[in-house]
């Protein structure tokens, strides 16, 4: 059986479906290559001196791990020179990163969470990388895109591609360019991502939820109600038992949901008043992937992909996964 590499998958989407152009294809391949480099750095761990804190804080006031900084650098260096980008934005950088003047510029904007699940690095639990691609909306004189912060503030529904890598027992890449969500497995000997999970579908029903229960006392009533009903199991209104998982790496939790269904929630609460996860680097790309796999994603009251961002580092409440459960939670918010 001939194996479909990421390269072939993308070429076919360019040639047969005209879903992507050559610039976007190069962009996705470059991000995938950067993910392979990050995967290697994660795998080497302490042998390469990659564990522990970098001794710096990021724009959100979070302590940066060495791998947060390294992954950010890998993604920047890989993507700067291709001529397909107008600018890059990262969870780890306060302002957008312009393309150095000695490189040509292109029409796309790349956003990423270079290393998701930082708290899991030193304890050897799966981490990952999340990315989102937008088109630069403002073309100035001479055809160049004016890639200021404003240019990035587009609703998630305008994304032209999104994906994430998870560095787990296997390194996987999940990608969407708008025709379904597809999973690729890294073949380390060949150095290629191979299509192993085409057209992923999330079951519409589930008996598994993912939430950080330590925040329970601070939740809003609709979320409290939903989880209480799950916990009541066969003796409650749901009439069935629920299981719980919380990896604390969104990439791993979402990957599990893509594989066997489930609902993932990081709601707003009394402490995280706007939620904890970032709209541009986490919620939007994951919502695009989840919707393309037949799931749903909301902040409780609105579809996440419809939100008009107000800031690059804006946080948001996230409820995503199996459609019927997400709709139930949204219903409790009404």
Which positions touch ligand AHG (CB under 6 A)?
91, 113, 116-119, 212, 248-250, 266, 276
If binding is defined by CB under 5 A, does position 113 make contact with Mn ion? yes
Q: Show the CA angle centred on residue 333, arms to residues 330 and 334, nearest 5°.
A: 95
Element containing residue 278 per DSSP (H, E) = strand 277-278
| Closer Cβ to ligand AHG, 107 or 253, answer by number | 253
Shortest spacing between CB 75 and Mn ion, in angstroms: 11
Shortest spacing between CB 34 and ligand AHG, in angstroms: 16
Burial (0-12, 13-18, 19+ Cβ within 10 Å), 293: buried
Element containing residue 11 per DSSP (H, E) = helix 6-15
Q: Report the partner that residue 208 touches, choosing among Mn ion, ligand AHG, none (CB closer than 5 to 8 A by kind).
A: none
d(CA 35, CA 48): 17
Shortest spacing between CB 166 and ligand AHG, in angstroms: 11
Shortest spacing between CB 43 and ligand AHG, in angstroms: 18
| Closer Cβ to Mn ion, 64 or 84, answer by number | 64
Angle at which helix 250-260 crosses helix 284-292, to 10 degrees, equals: 10
| Closer Cβ to ligand AHG, 99 or 247, answer by number | 247
Q: Which stretch binds Mn ion (CB under 5 A): 49-57, 103-111, 116-124, 149-157?
A: 116-124
Shortest spacing between CB 324 and Mn ion, in angstroms: 27
Q: Report the partner that residue 248 touches, choosing among ligand AHG, Mn ion, none (CB closer than 5 to 8 A by kind).
A: ligand AHG
Phi (first) and psi of residue 216, to 5 degrees: -50, -45
SS3 244: strand
SS3 333: helix
Q: Which stretch binds Mn ion (CB under 5 A): 43-51, 113-121, 236-244, 252-260?
A: 113-121
| Closer Cβ to ligand AHG, 256 or 276, answer by number | 276
Q: Is residue 128 within 8 Å of 286, Cβ to Cβ? A: no
- Selected from 116, 253, 291, 325, the binder of Mn ion by CB under 5 A is 116
SS3 218: helix
Shortest spacing between CB 332 and ligand AHG, in angstroms: 21
Strand partners, 173: 165, 184
Q: Is residue 48 within 8 Å of 81, Cβ to Cβ? A: no
Footprint on this chain of Mn ion (rule: CB under 5 A)? 91, 113, 115-116
């Amino acid at each position: 059986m001939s194996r479909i590499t990421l390269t072939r998958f993308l070429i076919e989407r360019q040639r047969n479906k005209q879903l992507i152009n050559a610039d976007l294809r190069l962009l996705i391949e470059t991000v995938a290559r950067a993910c392979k480099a990050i995967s290697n750095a994660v795998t080497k761990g302490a042998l390469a001196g990659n564990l522990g804190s970098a001794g710096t804080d990021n724009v959100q006031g979070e302590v940066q791990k060495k791998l947060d900084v390294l992954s950010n650098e890998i993604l920047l260096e890989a993507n700067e020179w291709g001529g397909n980008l107008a600018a890059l934005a990262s969870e780890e950088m306060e302002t957008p990163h312009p393309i150095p003047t000695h490189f040509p510029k292109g029409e796309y904007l790349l956003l990423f969470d270079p290393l998701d699940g930082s708290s899991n690095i030193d304890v050897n639990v799966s981490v990952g990388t999340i990315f989102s691609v937008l088109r630069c909306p403002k073309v100035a004189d001479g055809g160049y895109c004016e890639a200021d912060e404003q240019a990035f503030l587009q609703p998630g529904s305008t994304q032209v591609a999104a994906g994430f890598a998870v560095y787990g027992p296997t390194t996987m890449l999940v990608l969407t360019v708008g025709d379904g969500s597809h999973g690729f497995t890294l073949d380390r000997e060949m150095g290629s991502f191979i299509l192993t999970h085409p057209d992923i579908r999330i079951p519409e029903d589930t008996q598994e939820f993912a939430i950080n229960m330590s925040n329970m006392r601070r939740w809003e009533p609709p979320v409290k109600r939903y989880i209480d009903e799950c916990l009541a199991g066969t003796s409650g209104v749901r009439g069935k038992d629920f299981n719980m998982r919380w990896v604390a790496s969104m990439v791993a939790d979402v990957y599990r949901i893509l594989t066997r269904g489930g609902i993932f929630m990081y709601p707003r609460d009394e402490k995280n008043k706007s939620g904890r996860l970032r709209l541009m680097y986490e919620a939007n790309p994951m919502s695009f992937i989840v919707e393309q796999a037949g799931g749903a994603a909301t902040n409780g009251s609105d579809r996440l992909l419809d939100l008009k961002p107000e800031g690059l580092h804006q946080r948001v409440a996230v409820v995503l996964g199996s459609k019927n459960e997400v709709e139930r939670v949204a219903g409790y918010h009404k």
